[in-house]
């Protein structure tokens, strides 16, 4: 085999697995993942993956829906790439063996909020992510890739402003430096910045924090999507949008629908509108959960179409075929992340980012449902294409999409606030949930930033390193939310509740790196 160099991929969700698989024939690939290989947000994805593959649909309509959801903040080029390359990548997934559901001999499809067409493919009912993850893991096991499970990526190694490898914490608790020509971050999002989240425990934003420390640019970090409907019970299990797509409705504590009064599309309004509607209703009810009524869909249909949710309800003593179930909004998807061009290149030579860790600008201020698996797939594929085709001539030349200048973030050590040890991650998560969550205002954001900058996290266990990463990201998110003096997409400020044309650009953050890690 003619191997052209070493590549480290961080993360084993759809983005990392696709990148590793694609590059395994030409490069020596090491995949580092902090838990078991199948653990990822991907594994928990339910609703499906969107693509304009049906005859009554078009790329132009998928583009238009995506841009509308993104509230004026999408990178049009990236959206066009997502929607036009998506159908071919879906066929690649089918070739790899993903068992998408069929109806009458054709691919089955669901409708989700803010899509003008039913274009969401699913597998094993609501176990789409699990089907994709397990299919890709099986393929990877057969490929020539070294897999390091239970290995925590800690920091990037830099030399002369270029990434030259990765420092990891091994299962035995030892630091180890892995050298490579390139590092591809595919380490997912950071749902655990918030008290309530649909994300598994691994989603602590390590890759984004690591990139920030290395001097990479972050963009759009003020835009965090809150899923409107997770079970209001321990574990915050997601109840897919597709349930509302099939006709389930939201009820207040008295059994009355309330979304019809808030938006013409009622329960299928954009996610931020539904999440805010539910949060407002919960506040009006003194904090008690809102109800999701799926009873009219019938027990057989619910069990067949949504087997995972059905099992989760039953496991918690709920029979959703007979009675409405309690739900709450929860942190779900980060539109912001490490800023990349449309090939996954970051602002640091040698460093790529794909999937939820990245900000390609595809989602703008709000993600269209079921576009994130597609984004991970399409842009991980493109990143591999770029690396394969032009391994000797990469450089980051792009000015990917409109920005309003780059804002320097202070180094943690530059903070003048007295430093207090943060003893419990929950303190951070509660502050973020209450102040930097679904509804924000400038006064509280300012106080929260002071509080966040007064905290520090010590320790070298995986858990304390994760909390330190979450703290860095919470500071950046709060700073961005404070800076953006308007409301747009998922960022809603009750002290400036309208969108302003003056703010139709990304906020980009960067930290000047004075000390290199190598
Ligand atoms: C409950 C739920 C339902 C969803 N439903 C849908 C849906 O229906 N459709 C859709 O399009 N999207 C959905 N999403 C979003 C979608 O699943 C994710 O955006 C997508 O899977 C991200 O893929 P990824 O490969 O970028 O990251 P992930 O799949 O999150 O993978 C990240 C990987 O990085 C590893 N990792 C993280 N930090 C480190 C570290 N420090 N060191 C080593 N490894 C590390 C993790 O262990 C994991 O393996 C859903 C998300 C959730 C949580």
**pLDDT tens digits along 428-437:** 999 999 999 9
Indicate whether 59 pLDDT > 60. Answer: yes
Contact call for residues 327 and 278 (beta carbons, < 8 A): yes
Query: Nearest residue CA, atom 37 of ligand 1?
Result: 187
Percentage above 70 pLDDT, the chain: 94
Percentage above 90 pLDDT, the chain: 84
**pLDDT tens digits along 63-86:** 999 999 999 999 999 999 999 999
pLDDT at 515: 55
Average pLDDT over every residue of 225-251? 93
Contact call for residues 374 and 86 (beta carbons, < 8 A): yes
pLDDT at 413: 55
Exposure of 89 by Cβ count < 10 A (0-12 exposed, 13-18 middle, 19+ buried)? buried
Question: Among the listed ranges 105-109, 236-240, 404-408, 447-451, which one has the minimum average pLDDT value?
Answer: 404-408
pLDDT at 489: 93
CA of 197 from ligand 1 middle (Å) equals 13
pLDDT at 412: 55
Contact call for residues 507 and 219 (beta carbons, < 8 A): yes
> What is the SS3 assignment for 282-326?
HHHCCCCCEEEECHHHCHHHHHHHCHHHHHHHHHCCCCCCCCCEE
Catalytic choice (271, 339, 493, 511):
271
Q: At what angle do helices 462-483 and 425-435 cross, to 10 degrees?
A: 20
Q: At what angle do helices 462-483 and 442-454 cross, to 10 degrees?
A: 150
Q: 249: which residues sit within 8 A by CB, 6+ positions away?
A: 257, 259, 266, 267, 292, 293
Q: Under DSSP, is residue 478 helix (H, G, I), strand (E, B) or coil?
A: helix
Report whether residue 12 contacts ligand 1, using a CB cutoff of 6 Å. Answer: yes
Indicate whether 453 pLDDT > 60. Answer: yes
pLDDT at 391: 56
Report whether residue 437 contacts ligand 1, using a CB cutoff of 6 Å. Answer: no
What whole-number distance in Å separates Cα of residue 98 and Cα of residue 96?
6
Is 271 catalytic? The answer is yes
pTM: 0.93
Report whether residue 41 contacts ligand 1, using a CB cutoff of 6 Å. Answer: yes
**pLDDT tens digits along 265-300:** 999 887 888 999 999 999 899 988 899 999 999 999
Average pLDDT over every residue of 479-484? 96
């Amino acid at each position: 085999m003619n191997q052209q160099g070493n590549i480290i991929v961080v993360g084993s969700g759809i983005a990392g697995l696709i990148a590793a698989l694609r590059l395994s024939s030409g490069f020596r690939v090491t995949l580092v993942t902090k838990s078991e290989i199948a653990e990822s947000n991907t594994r928990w994805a339910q609703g499906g993956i969107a693509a304009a593959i049906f005859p009554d649909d078009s790329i132009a309509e998928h583009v238009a829906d995506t841009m509308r959801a993104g509230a004026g903040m999408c990178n049009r080029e990236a959206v066009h790439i997502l929607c036009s390359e998506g159908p071919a990548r879906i066929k690649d997934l089918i070739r790899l063996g993903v068992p998408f559901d069929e109806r009458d001999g054709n691919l089955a499809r669901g409708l989700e909020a803010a899509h003008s067409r039913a274009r969401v493919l699913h597998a094993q009912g609501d176990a789409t992510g699990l089907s994709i993850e397990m299919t890709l893991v099986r393929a990877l096991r057969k490929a020539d890739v070294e897999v390091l499970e239970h290995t925590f990526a800690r920091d990037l190694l830099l030399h002369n402003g270029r990434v030259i490898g990765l420092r990891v914490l091994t299962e035995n608790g030892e630091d180890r430096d892995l050298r490579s020509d390139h590092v591809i971050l595919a380490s997912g999002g950071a749902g655990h910045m918030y008290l309530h989240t649909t994300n598994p425990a691994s989603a602590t934003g390590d890759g984004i924090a690591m990139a920030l420390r290395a001097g990479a640019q972050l963009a759009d970090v003020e835009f965090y999507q809150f899923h409107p409907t997770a079970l209001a019970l321990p574990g915050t299990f997601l109840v897919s949008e597709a349930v509302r797509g099939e006709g389930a409705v939201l009820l207040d504590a008295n059994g009355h629908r309330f979304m019809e009064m808030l938006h013409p599309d009622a329960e299928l309004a954009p996610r931020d509108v539904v999440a805010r509607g539910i949060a407002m209703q919960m506040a009006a009810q003194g904090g008690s959960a809102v109800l999701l009524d799926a009873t009219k869909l019938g027990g057989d249909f619910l069990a067949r179409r949504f087997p995972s949710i059905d099992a989760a309800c039953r496991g918690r003593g709920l029979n959703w075929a007979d009675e409405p179930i309690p739900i709450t909004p929860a942190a779900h998807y980060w539109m912001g992340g490490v800023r990349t061009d449309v090939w996954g290149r970051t602002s640091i030579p040698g460093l790529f980012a794909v999937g939820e860790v990245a900000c390609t600008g595809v989602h703008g201020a709000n993600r269209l449902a079921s576009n994130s698996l597609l984004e991970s797939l399409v842009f991980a594929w493109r990143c591999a294409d770029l690396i394969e085709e032009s391994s000797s001539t990469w450089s980051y030349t792009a000015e990917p999409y409109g920005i309003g200048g780059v804002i320097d973030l202070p180094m943690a050590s530059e903070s003048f606030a007295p430093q207090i040890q943060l003893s419990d991650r929950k303190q951070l998560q509660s502050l973020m949930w209450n102040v930097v969550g679904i509804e924000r205002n400038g006064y509280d954001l300012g106080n929260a930033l002071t509080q966040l900058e007064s905290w520090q996290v010590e320790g070298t266990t995986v858990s304390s390193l994760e909390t330190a990463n979450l703290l860095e990201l919470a500071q950046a998110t709060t700073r961005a939310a404070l800076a953006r003096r308007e409301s747009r997409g998922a960022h809603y400020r009750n002290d400036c509740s309208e969108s302003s044309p003056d703010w139709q650009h990304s906020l980009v953050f960067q930290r000047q790196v004075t000390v290199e890690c190598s």
